[in-house]
Amino acid sequence: MDTLDRAQVVDHNFYHCIQNQHFPIPKSQATPSTSKLNKEDYVDLFHSQLVSRHLDLLARVFKEKNQGFYTIGSSGHEGNAAIARVFRATDMAFLHYRSGAFFIQRAKQKKVDYLQDQTLSLVASAADPISGGRHKVFGSVPLTIPPQTSTIASHLPKAVGMAFAITQAKSMKQTGRVPEDSVVLCSFGDASFNHSTAQGALNAARWIGQNQLPLPIVFICEDNGIGISVPTAAHWIEQTIAHAPHLHYIACDGRNLADVTRAALLAEKVARVQRKAVFLHMQTVRLLGHAGSDIESQYLDQSQITQTELDDPILHGSRVILENQWMTADQLIALYETVKNTVHKKAEWAVKQPKLQSSTDIQSTIIPPKRQERPLPLPTEEKRLHLFGKQATSLQQPRNLCQLLNITLTDLMLQYSQTVLFGEDVGKKGGVYRVTADLQMRFGKKRVFDTLLDEQTILGTAMGLAHNGLLPIPEIQFLAYVHNAVDQLRGEAATLSFFSKGQFTNPMVLRVPSFAYQRGFGGHFHNDNAFGFLREIPGIVIACPYNGESAAKLLRACLQLAYLEQRVVIFMEPIARYMTKDLHQIGDNAFLCHYPALSEIARFDEAQCLTVGEDLAIITYGNGCYLSLQAQRRLQAEHHVEATVIDLQWLAPLPLQHLTTLLKSHRRVLIVDECRKTGSISEQLMTWMLETLTPLPKIKRRTAEDCFIPLGNAWEYILPSTEQIIEDALSLC
């Protein structure tokens, strides 16, 4: 036996301890009888632990043969099988990567072929029923387990959101995707407990409890005492969380199936019956290192490694079975080898199954599948008149962007009864800019509510609500604040369809007051013009209106995309244009718009021509439209230059096919991009034109400088202006 191969050592330890009746000393007093576990129950849990263990050992074999690619295992954490036994298969579970035994035990409830699922996943086969070979994950539609990737607690905010969504759907009289008395489970490790994402989610759970709202969630902290090579301080988690208000703390020994069962039964009672948040702290050990590439002897003494390996939960379970005379030593060994042989036999089949073969196959699940639904009927005039009340008579007066967004949101929430609008200050205050004014009064606090000041929680809540069949419209107060939570979009929301073959989705329309040009505002937090960090996320849709009419039509299209096509949509609203009335001169009111008929909706993936001219085309968006329209009029009046102004509308994906048609007759193109020069849309547009358009037009771009936005009027020196657009247009012509 190679003592450097700890997988061999752990495997050998089982035989040695059984044959010599040398077992670890129990760390807790719970027994099967005190936890009401009979022989059949206990042996079934033990069997799940063995399957999980042999899948871990198999992963090392696959890796050596270059047949598998993932070696982060569940060894030492197999006690979580007892948690799966206690809870229902309809209780949504967000699992981290050491929850193999949990997955296997839950699969037994629904008779899912767990060996087939997991061996296909280990070899990254296209036949893997959850991810189709895109990642090794624990996930299953029939088991109500959305897939997670290699998590650092990034799944905790949406687990909180899902728990909140169970009660939310019931209060809104909407049919959720899980039963009304369901509980949410969320497992994670002791190292990721310290991540700000985890702390934010736990804080949000306590905040919800403080507000006396139900939150049926069980946080399962599987504490093995080390994060890769960094030890977790003794008693750190217990001291930090045990006395936290509005969080019921329960501790158990993860090496003892009876003790885990005891704790899980109590956790279920608190979460399911009392509808309160639980923190289930399960002490475990970590065997085989962090992953196959992790050599523990580089940072741990050999005595520590050996001692941990002898504290194996499989050995603890074997002792209990022998003490209760449920099996003999020979029968235990026979069971161990039967499971090993069964796992390896299934593995021989799995390695022969097809793999992903093309970029088309790989990318096919980035965009979720369309729902087999029709657009919802528009709200009736009777309902609208009742909702708007005295304001109804003035709805057709010319209004600014802010006011028309408010009217549009009202009509959309009336049309889509499953919508929920939330964020910082959006309720009684109506938002910082009053875009959501009176919405809470019109629809009630269940559908329009304020959140705590935490962008990760806002986006996690959105994902959780979407998991339960609701249609969230979250707001992040300013564009720069999205940076605080971008992983919730990049690592969670956008990847869900990709890693589940479109079987799980979290559609939403995220509203973000955006961009610069606010007079008197400074600092990049309130005047931020860069959003390249959003454009690079695969599958995300980004839309941007320039005035009130375009906002109404675009926002309607965004809700329809979320509802019918299950897309994650970001709706970027140019703050500086919220209250703008005038376009060309003071008092002209030319930027005010009439509210478009309810049936008018923007077409996805199409730009729109705001003016038509033969001399050049100006491609722009947002504030750039406002400036370019000013420039277009002056170019025409002062220089006899006729310009076509094209509003992109859709910033991701860009409407390139439609642009090809719009630019067909133009030999001069000016791109006006208010984003910074580096990472701007202008880069993509220029590259696309160079690669695609024949003959190539003469191209120029005007962007913002690579700089943050300063205070006062100094922003005028780093952002595109009307004068600069005129100058660039003339140089092209």
pLDDT, tens digit, 9 for 90 and up, residues 275-326: 999 999 999 999 999 998 889 999 999 999 999 999 999 999 999 999 999 9
Confidence of residue 710 (pLDDT cuts 50, 70, 90): confident
The dihedral of CA 546, 549, 553, 559: what is its sign? positive
Same fold, 6-360 and 381-577: yes
Q: Cβ distance 554 to 541 under 8 Å? A: no
Q: pLDDT per residue over 212-248, tens digit each? A: 999 999 999 999 999 999 999 999 999 999 999 999 9
Task: List C-alpha distances in Å: 275 to 91, 95, 267, 558.
Answer: 13, 21, 10, 34
Which class for 551: exposed (0-12), middle (13-18), buried (19 or more C-beta within 10 A)?
buried
Full strand arrangement of the beta sheet holding 650-652: 448-450, 419-423, 471-475, 508-514, 568-574, 541-543, 650-652
Confidence bin at 526 (pLDDT 50/70/90): confident
Helix ranges (H only) for 546-615 are 548-565
Reply yes or no on whether the pLDDT at 535 is more than 90.
Answer: yes
Nearest by Cα to 528 from 425, 671, 674: 674
State mean pLDDT over 698-719.
91
| Structural element, H or E, at residue 644 | strand 643-647
- Assess whether pLDDT exceeds 60 at residue 384: yes
Neighbours of 440 (CB within 10 A): 20
Average of per-residue pLDDT across 10-27: 94
Coil, strand or helix: which one is 203? helix
Residue of higher predicted confidence among 445 and 150: 445
Give the residue from 619, 648, 620, 627 showing the smallest Cα distance to 580. 627
Q: Which of 242, 323, 253, 245 has its CA nearest to residue 284?
A: 253
Mean pLDDT of 26-37: 94
Q: Report how far residue 277's alpha carbon sits from residue 268's, in angstroms, rounded to the nearest whole number.
A: 10
pLDDT (0 to 100) of residue 512: 97
CATH number of 6-360: 3.40.50.970
Q: CATH assignment of 381-577, given 3.40.50.1860, 3.20.20.140, 3.30.1330.60, 3.40.50.970?
A: 3.40.50.970
Q: Which of 492, 516, 639 is nearest to 568 (CA)?
A: 492
Considering only CA atoms, which of 132, 127, 73 is closest in space to residue 100? Answer: 73
Q: What percent of the chain has pLDDT over 70?
A: 99
Question: Rounded CA gap, 516 and 503, in Å?
Answer: 39
CA distance 24 to 687: 65
Q: What angle do CA 218, 221, 226 make, to 5 degrees?
A: 175
> Three-state DSSP class for 659?
helix
pLDDT of residue 521: 64
Give the pTM: 0.96
Average pLDDT, the chain: 95
Pairing of strands 568-574, 508-514: parallel
Residues 607-631 have a mean pLDDT of: 98
CB 551 within 8 A of CB 509: no
Report the DSSP pairing between strands 650-652 and 541-543: antiparallel
- Which pLDDT belongs to residue 712? 79
Rounded Cα gap, residues 288 and 309, in angstroms? 8
**In whole angstroms, how large is the CA radius of gyration of the chain?**
29
**Domain ranges, ordered by start, for the chain:** 6-360, 381-577, 608-732
Q: What CATH number was assigned to the domain covering residues 608-732?
A: 3.40.50.920
pLDDT for res 2 = 60
d(CA 459, CA 457): 6
Q: How far is it, in rounded angstroms, from Cα 608 to Cα 259? A: 64
Residues present in the chain in total:
733
Q: What does the pLDDT average to over 42-64?
A: 96
Percent of the chain scored above 90 by pLDDT? 93
Cα–Cα distance, 595 to 298 (Å, whole number): 67
Is residue 249 within 8 A of residue 237, CB to CB? The reply is: no
Helix ranges (H only) for 416-547 are 439-443, 455-467, 486-487, 496-499, 532-535
Is a pLDDT exceeding 80 seen at residue 550? yes
For the chain, the farthest-separated pair of C-alpha atoms sits apart, in whole angstroms, at 99
Q: Tokens for 10?
A: 């752990």
Q: Is the pLDDT of residue 3 over 70?
A: no
**pLDDT tens-digit readout, 572-582:** 999 999 999 99
Task: Examine the pLDDT at 209 and tell me if it is beyond 80.
Answer: yes
